[in-house]
Structures are given as C-alpha cells and as structure tokens.
Amino acid sequence: MGYLVWIALVPLFIFIVSGEKYLCLNTLLIGVIFFFVQLSWMRHVTYIAWVLLSLYCSVYFLLFAVCARYVVLKLKWPLTLTAPCLWAALEFIRSFFLSGFPWFFIGHTQYQWLPVIQISDITGVYGISFIIVMVNAGIADLILSCPGLKTIFTIERYRPCLFPNRKLVFTGVVCILPIVTLIATLFYGFYRLKHYVPIDGPKVCLVQGNIPQDLKFESTEADQVAILKKYFDLSKSAKDKSIDLLVWPETMMPGILNINPDLTGRKIDILSQLTAVQLAQDLGANLLIGGIALTLNGEQQIYFNSAYYYNRLGSFVDRYDKIHLVPFGEFTPLKDYFPFLAGLVPYEIGLTHGKNRTLFSLDTAANGRITFGVSICYEDTVPSLMRRFRKDGAEFMLNITNDGWFCNSAELDQHLAIMVFRAVENRISLARAANTGISAFVAPNGTIYDMLVDAQGKSREISGTLTNHARLANKGISIYTRCGDWFGILCAVVSGAILLAAVFNIRLFSMDRQGKHP
C-alpha cells in the first residue's frame, strides 16, 4: 500500500508544528509503536533486542520532531523546506551509526513503484524519502496556512514568510516545489525505464531447502546429514538445465569445508567436502555455497560466516567472509567489558568480521567470463557495501541468506523490498537464495522478475529451486556507484547549517509580518 505514504505523515507534521504539550513524549510514543510493530519478527529470536532496538529507532522520530519544530518556529520557514532534509539526514545517520540499521526508510515503501525509485541511481534511497517527505510537508503547510483552521490548531507562532511578497512565494514553495520535484522524478524514472534494455547473463539456479531454524540450530549429526541430503537432492534436479552457477543459502552446508576433517574428527565435515566436489562434477556447474569457515591461530579458533566458491571440476577456488556482521546476532560488542551481553547472542560462538570484498570469476556458456560478488544475510541492506562491490567490478551480485530465524513473518518481505534499492542504486542484477524464502531475481531497474512460489502461490517456508538468467546492465556504473551517499551527506550538512542558523537566530531570507528585516 505504498501509495498511502504520500499522505501518511501529514497528521504527524501538523502535530509537530501545532502541538504544545507533551510533544516529545507523543512523538517518541509514535516512534515506539511504529518500530515495535514493524520489528515484531524479532520476538522469534530475542525479546530484549526487540524492545531495545524499537526504543533506539524511535529516538529518531523524537529528534526529527524537536529539530523540525525548533527550526520552523525560530526561522519562520515552511515545513516544505526543512522537513525533507532533516528526515533524509536522520535516515542516513541511522544507516551507519552504531553499526547501522538501514531498515524502514520511508523510501522503501516505493519498491514496487518503479518510475518513482529510478532516481535512486543518483541519490540513493534517501532521495526517495526526501521527495515523499516534501510532498507530505507541502500538504501539511497548506492545511496549517488555511485561515479557518487557526482556531483549531495552536499555530499563532507558525507564520512562515519569505521575501516581501510572502504569500505568493509561500504558495510557490509549498505548492509548486513538491509538484515540480515529483514530476521531475517521474520523468526521469519513465525515461530510464524506457531506455532499459536487459541482457541475459549467466544462468543461475537458486536452491531453497526450507530447513526450520530450530532443527538447524540444535541439530544432531543425523539432522546434519539429512539437511545435506535434502539440499543435495534439490540441487540434482537442476542437472538437465545447463546452469552456469548453483547457489546454496547462508550456512546451509552443515560441515566445514576449509579445514582438514582429520583435525575436527567429524563425519559431517568429510561428507560435506565430498558432496561439494561431487555436486559440481555431476552438474557441470560452478557452486556458491554458504557455510561456516574455521581458521586456527595457535590454540584459538576463529569462525567466519562464509561463501565458498567451486568451479565446474569440483575444485575449491576462493571464499568470501562476511564483512558486516549483525551485532548481538553474530557477535557481541564490548563482551570483554560486559560478559553478560554474551547471553543476547543466539550463537554459542562469536563470529569474526571478514576483511576483503572477494570477487569471483564465473565462466559462462553464453557470456564468457563474468565477475560477480556475494553478500551474506543483511549485507544487501547496507548501501555502502553493495556500492563498493559494484565499483570493484562486480557485474551481478548474489545474496545468500537464512531468514529462517524469523519464521513466516514480514521480515522476509521487508528484506526483499530493501534489496530492490541496491539493484537500482548500482544498476546491477541481484539474485537471492534464501533458506526459507524469499528466493528471487531482481533486475537492474528494480523489477522482481522471478520468485520461487509453490502451486498455491506461497513464497515463504517452501522448498524448491528457481532457475533464471541474471540480467546484466547494458550501460556503465551509476552516479550513485561513483559518488556514494553524497545526497545523504548533503542533507546532513544542510540540516546542521539550518539548525545552527536557528540557534543563532540567523533568519536567512526571512521577513517579519510587516515585511521588514527583524
């Protein structure tokens, strides 16, 4: 229901300007309710993190409300000029501060509205949020400026005025600026969609085994063998499809592939290594398999969340170790100082950050050698990481994930929606293999052009394989790939300047009611 977002913030904006009592408490409460509901899937893993993360994210609602009200009332500027920058700046800060949580940006609601989101290849997702907030702020400004409503809202102090002929300019800013910006965005979007000509790239088979997380997490050796067999049998179904690459989701290989099994003494490690080799040779395809990697540093054991790459002959080529780990999900920050925090981590062991963005070379039947990269789990929600892979030379990207932690919840849909923006931002095709769903292919223009579904149309908690071509972009890298989050940084800088101007009472381009400079 992404169309509702174009008016959804209007009541909030009116309240920020007109409300006097309990502004901070109420906006904080609005944020808590919003994030508590949206993050409800975290209850399947940890209630404590669910509550704490909801409280943390709601602080951004509070910051926006306080800053927006202060600037509007102090500088006499309309919300149309102040709210978009502030909102986009706070989303940008939330995307990296304290390891970052780039979810639930207001721009993400438009993932199915392709003409709107094409501008992401210039501004990133922050540009979409900026436009949406500007439209909402314009509507709120018009409502607040209606003479008949002054008896309803406490808005005596809200008299935005610009230049001597303030009514005309105010109307222009509030009415024309959002409309012109939106029309320009749509014009650019339709133009890019019209001139997008996809090229069929390598043929990729995504395997979705639908292994319940409780079975995988607390598995016996017999369970691990059964998991391995299920993924092996599903993979064998692709034998006659002439695929270039077979992909297993995150950590779906139960054994450790990078260490001599004699050192571990585990049968599952031997079976896993033999299975990878045999599968590549039987299919005549390259393999990309998610699993755990182990390295030894003296007596210390170091574990990584990794993606292993095998060629068509069954020879191990290289691996990628996940760089952006999930705090309190894959590692415990500050656990040396606060040991009790280790109880929040669902793993018995802590994982270690990878250091290198590994690129793999894929020999294809129709396209020659293609370079691709891999993101693991939530890494496809991190704009800067995906951008660097593209800038390094990746021609398409894979995402391997195990969202089984969150069962049949909205998290699976949210994760896919966010991935769409990584495709548009970098004009690159993405293919995702997910253990419990949603496995899908996304084109460089943001189209979800294939998705694994069963006979009843269900895409979550099902098993099967999905085979299609990764679509290659027919042009060079985007402005966003070259320049990064310049728009988010610009919004942060402008927001800081506006706040400073308000603090020091610098009323740029502002007039009092008599048209004289204050």
pLDDT in tens, 220-231: 888 899 999 999
Q: Is 24 part of the annotated catalytic residue set?
A: no
pLDDT reported for residue 161: 45
pLDDT reported for residue 516: 46
pLDDT reported for residue 512: 43
CA distance 345 to 327: 8
Q: Is 377 part of the annotated catalytic residue set?
A: yes
pLDDT reported for residue 76: 81
Alpha-helical runs (H) found in 39-176:
47-75, 79-94, 114-117, 120-123, 125-145, 166-171
CA distance 326 to 68: 32
120: nearest Cα among 471, 373, 386, 485: 485
CA distance 167 to 160: 9
Alpha-carbon distances of 191 from 119, 182, 188, 429, 472, rounded to whole Å: 11, 14, 5, 19, 19
pLDDT averaged over every residue in the chain = 87
Q: Is 299 part of the annotated catalytic residue set?
A: no
CA distance 427 to 21: 47
289: nearest Cα among 276, 270, 277: 276
pTM greater than 0.85: yes
* Among 108-117, 260-269, 410-419, 424-433, the least confident range: 260-269
CA distance 9 to 6: 8
Give the Cβ contact number of residue 503 at 10 Å.
11
Tally of residues, the chain = 518
Active-site choice (85, 216, 322, 407): 322
Active-site choice (57, 85, 161, 377): 377
pLDDT reported for residue 339: 63
For a pLDDT cut of 70, what percent of the chain falls above it? 88
| Domains of the chain by start residue, with CATH | 2-196+481-503 (no CATH), 199-324+356-473 (3.60.110.10)
Which of the given ranges, 167-176, 365-374, 440-449, has the highest pLDDT on average? 440-449
- 21 or 372, higher pLDDT: 372
Secondary structure class of 100 (helix, strand, coil): coil
Structure confidence at residue 513 as a pLDDT band (50, 70, 90): very low
Written as six digits, the tokens of 470 are 């990764």
Per-residue pLDDT at 298 exceeds 90:
no
Which pLDDT tens digit goes with each residue over 311-361?
999 999 999 999 988 776 666 665 666 666 666 555 555 788 899 999 999
Active-site choice (91, 161, 216, 250): 250
CA distance 401 to 397: 13
Provide the greatest CA pair distance for the chain. 87
Give buried/exposed letters for 427-452 (b at 16+ CB in 10 A, else e): bbbbbbbbbbbbbbbbbbbbbbebbb
CA distance 337 to 335: 5
423: nearest Cα among 439, 401, 446, 440: 446
Structure confidence at residue 72 as a pLDDT band (50, 70, 90): confident
- 5 or 343, higher pLDDT: 5
Per-residue pLDDT at 265 exceeds 70:
yes
Structure confidence at residue 19 as a pLDDT band (50, 70, 90): confident
- 401 or 156, higher pLDDT: 401
